[in-house]
């Protein structure tokens, strides 16, 4: 009795259909049918009630199915434990928007590198548009994008925490003395906004479609560059808190009231084949933040 055949049997039981099981396992339907017939011959019992339109197990088949699940679970656990201490090497490439929640990525990678010191992390700071393009091309393993974002064709894990929206202003600005701003305050400012796809739509949604009076003087990809433009007097940058350290600088972050916040997600292309290093990182992150993988 081979483990491969037991996995065929398990897939047929789970899918209640030989054709769907064949697609899942990437083998032909006749191959599965022949293997199941040989399995019944080997065991000397009938596993399936073939009089039904869908796959139905006999009483003996039900018992055998429960035992198979335990056998395969123990096999998988044993193999995982065997390989757990083997060294994993390689590079993980992550394209990331600027976000405070990237700290979760850094903390998980720190834990991962204690187990596998030969894994290297390459982080590329960019926007969501470039992240999607580079994930599809296979250049990035993962991306960190702000919410809300289009995740069609992507699997993802939501990262803990949220960041608050507001304006990064010069300490010479009259707004710098305020403890909060309202969206209506944007109308009187020269604005620097993120150039990534969806930002103007987000503004339009916040302002109920009334964006015609906004004075957008520049767009930016990285907030650090925008902060230099704010220091130079070009205007105020619409951004998230916690990215630019304003301590001992000529900049002040003033949040919006009512609160406007965004979360972040780690994304990867649906069906993407991960390297051993990337797979190990996903498992580490999932464990650290207490979220199951999709």
Tokens 């006999």 identify what position? 58
Question: Could you tell me how many residues make up the chain?
Answer: 294
Q: What does CATH list as the number for 3-84?
A: 1.10.10.10
Name the region of 233 (left: φ>0; alpha: ψ -120 to 50; beta: rest).
left
What is the model's pLDDT at position 69?
Answer: 86
- SS3 category, 120: strand
Give yes or no for a contact between 166 and 255, defined as CB atoms under 8 angstroms apart. yes
What is the model's pLDDT at position 232?
Answer: 96
Q: What is the pLDDT along the chain (294 residues), one digit of tens a residue?
A: 788 888 888 888 888 888 888 888 888 888 888 888 888 888 898 988 876 667 788 888 888 888 888 888 888 767 765 665 567 888 999 999 888 889 999 999 999 999 899 999 999 988 888 888 899 888 899 999 987 777 888 999 999 988 999 999 999 999 999 999 999 899 889 999 988 777 888 888 888 877 777 899 999 988 999 999 999 999 999 999 988 999 999 999 999 999 999 899 999 998 888 888 999 999 999 999 998 888
What is the model's pLDDT at position 82?
Answer: 63
Rounded to 5 degrees, what angle do the CA atoms 168, 174, 178 make?
70
CATH of 163-261, one of 1.10.10.60, 3.40.190.10, 3.40.640.10, 2.60.40.10: 3.40.190.10
What CA–CA distance (Å, rounded) separates 117 from 126? 26
Fold for the domain defined by 90-161+264-289 = D-Maltodextrin-Binding Protein; domain 2 (3.40.190)
Positions of CATH 1.10.10.10 in the chain: 3-84
Neighbour-count burial for 4-20, b at 16+ CB within 10 Å, e otherwise = ebbebbbbbbebeebee
Phi/psi of residue 175, nearest 5 degrees = -75, -20
What CA–CA distance (Å, rounded) separates 102 from 95? 11
Positions of CATH 3.40.190.10 in the chain: 90-161+264-289, 163-261
Of the CA atoms within 13 Å of residue 264, those in its CB half-sphere come to 25
């Amino acid at each position: 009795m081979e483990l491969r055949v037991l996995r065929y049997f398990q897939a047929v039981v789970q899918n209640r259909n030989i054709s769907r099981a064949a697609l899942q396992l990437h083998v032909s339907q006749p191959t599965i049918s022949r293997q199941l017939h040989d399995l019944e011959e080997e065991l000397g019992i009938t596993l399936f009630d073939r009089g039904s339109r869908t796959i139905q197990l006999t009483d003996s088949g039900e018992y055998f199915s429960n035992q198979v699940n335990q056998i395969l679970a123990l096999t998988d656990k044993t193999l995982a434990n065997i390989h757990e201490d083997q060294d994993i090497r390689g590079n993980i490439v992550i394209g990331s928007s600027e976000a405070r929640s990237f700290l979760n990525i850094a903390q998980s990678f720190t834990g991962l590198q204690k187990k596998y010191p030969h894994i290297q992390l390459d982080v590329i700071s960019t926007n969501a548009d470039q992240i999607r393009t580079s994930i599809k091309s296979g250049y990035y393993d993962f991306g960190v994008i702000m919410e809300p974002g289009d995740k069609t064709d992507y699997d993802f894990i939501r990262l803990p925490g949220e960041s608050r929206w507001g304006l990064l202003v010069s300490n010479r600005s009259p707004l710098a003395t305020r403890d909060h701003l309202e969206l209506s305050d944007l109308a009187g400012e020269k604005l620097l906004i993120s150039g990534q796809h969806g930002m103007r739509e987000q503004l339009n949604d916040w302002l109920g479609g009334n964006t015609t009076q906004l004075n957008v003087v520049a767009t930016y990809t990285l907030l650090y560059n925008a902060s230099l433009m704010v220091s130079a007097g070009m205007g105020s940058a619409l951004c998230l808190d916690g990215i630019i350290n304003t301590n001992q600088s000529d900049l002040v972050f003033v949040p919006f009231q009512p609160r406007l916040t965004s979360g972040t997600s780690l994304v990867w292309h649906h069906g993407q084949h991960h390297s051993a290093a990337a797979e190990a990182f996903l498992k580490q992150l999932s464990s650290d933040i207490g979220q199951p993988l999709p």
